[in-house]
Amino acid sequence: MNAFEPGLIPAPRRLTRRAASYRRLGEGTRLAAGPGTEGVARWLRSAVGAATGLPLAESGGDPADRIVLALDPDLPREGYRLTVGDPLARIEGGSAAGVFWGAQTLRQLLGPDAFRRAPVRPGRAWELPEITVEDAPRFRWRGLMLDVARHFMPKDGVLRYLDLMAAHKLNVFHFHLSDDQGWRVEIERYPKLTETASWRPRTKFGHRASPLWDDRPHGGFYTQDDIREIVAHAAERHITVVPEIDVPGHSQAAVAAYPELGNTDVVDTAALGVWDNWGVSPNVLAPTEHTLRFYEGVFEELLALFPSEFIHVGGDECPKDQWRRSATAKARMEDLGLPNEDALQAWFTGHFDTWLTARGRRLIGWDEILEGGLAPGAAVSSWRGYGAGIAAARAGHDVVMCPEQHVYLDHRQDGGPDEPVPIGFVRTLEDVYRFEPVPPELTAEERAHVLGTQANVWTEVMESPQRVDYQTFPRLAAFAEVAWSPLPAPAARDFAAFEHRMTGHYRRLDALGVSYRPPTGPRPWQRRPGVLGRPLDGPPPNK
């Protein structure tokens, strides 16, 4: 990277300062959108236009005072070239996505006030340095998973997170929509999923060992029109939304709404409610034809809402005790000739893999879906470390690397006593910056199966959007650079230079209203004194 440092995050591949001068945007600046870039022009007018107060009109004016958007098929699909000079700025991309990421870089170059929703200094001069930026991402999957099942995030908060992702050039939003503690998406043929399963009467405050409770009912769900709006908002920002419905475990909320989905021969499922505690519920789906048909109905409606290539089916942390005691489950294993309950779950997952493949989609699940065998086209979210991802890649499966020891952002950011509800290992900003998604032991052919990487935000102990912000930022900025930029090996990464660039990036986050963790530690209102967490000491296992 060039010695001239405008503080861009994520760092671009090449940045050249062509002159020491600046070009100025003003009332006469025009925005000329070539074929295929019209959506990027709309975003620039709505975001940068709103922040600057400039109209960025389509035509007329001085040809030298224009921001030109154009496609260049010789560039990588998400790559871009941004040139500031004459015309004022030119952004070329291998696709509209590339042009959009170039527009995000332009916004960063304009300064923190370009991230506000209205001008704070009317009449100010908006300047761009005369530079050329040539850039493209390292990975095609640069993801953020947001758990809205444990603590519901209203639609406006989800739209805001899509904007925050776009500002960091992240492009996959993994939407965790169901769990033991809540169901968050309207399914028209099964109304009880939102009437019953979308709320719980109370909530554990802190870790599951905490004695504290919040006795207010908690819940919420997204209507199908809400989902259409979220998906469209994401698409305008070149973000793919991958929905997750967790099966066959983490399903107590669904069983509470429709008791026949559970293992009725070993537990009184009609007495179950939506779970109000954290951890892993023992109440899992029954491996019956009725359950399969029910979830086919769920997925049919989801496919109409989400155009994504991948559909996430969960598959993690499925206790097998009820199946071991269930005559129905035993009969199913005998009929199928299955040796054990792990194979029964593999059959369950395989059914939906075949079902989704027949409809032109691909199944992805947490790495437990490897146990008992996995269909060739299925992909794996490797969360329990690197091991499952390595095994999946070696078996020819596509992998998204999201090991909990490195990129679970619910883990605490510091070992100090003021961290709110401390969970898991200490994962500092520097730790995340030194995360490497591709294990060195993979061959070149195996590395090609690593689609990319993802940071996961589980919200058991995040009771508000401000808490989600605190856990997610600023570490998501470091993760975004890992996912986008071609960094050296972890030990050779220049964290001091990144930290220097973060001094300017904090001002962007301030302008966006992000309640991030300050470098000096939590502010008084960000602490949660007396709320029990689950801190783990020492370095996390690197496996």
Q: What is the DSSP string of 305-351?
A: H---SEEEEE--S---HHHHH-HHHHHHHHHHT--SHHHHHHHHHHH
Closest CA to 493 of 419, 421, 433: 433
Instruction: Give the distance from CA 507 to its chain's centroid.
Output: 23
Burial environment of residue 443 by CB neighbours within 10 A (0 to 12, 13 to 18, 19 or more)? exposed
Closest CA to 369 of 265, 244, 509, 472: 244
The 8-class DSSP code of residue 31 comes to: E
* Residue of 236, 317, 430, 499 marked catalytic: 317
- Beta bridge mates, 379: 364
The 8-class DSSP code of residue 118 comes to: S
Q: Is 312 a catalytic residue?
A: no
* Residue of 176, 207, 250, 312 marked catalytic: 250
Answer whether 385's CB lies under 8 Å from 541's CB: yes
Q: Which residues contact 440 (CB under 8 A, 6 or more apart)?
A: none
Q: How far is it, in rounded angstroms, from Cα 396 to Cα 390?
A: 10
Q: Which residues contact 537 (CB under 8 A, 6 or more apart)?
A: none
Q: How far is it, in rounded angstroms, from Cα 487 to Cα 433?
A: 10
CA torsion sign for 104, 110, 111, 113 is negative
- The amino acid occupying position 226 is D
Q: Is 317 a catalytic residue?
A: yes
* Residue of 135, 179, 404, 463 marked catalytic: 179
Instruction: Give first-to-last CA distance, the chain, whole Å.
Output: 32
Q: Is 290 a catalytic residue?
A: no
Active site residues: 179, 250, 317
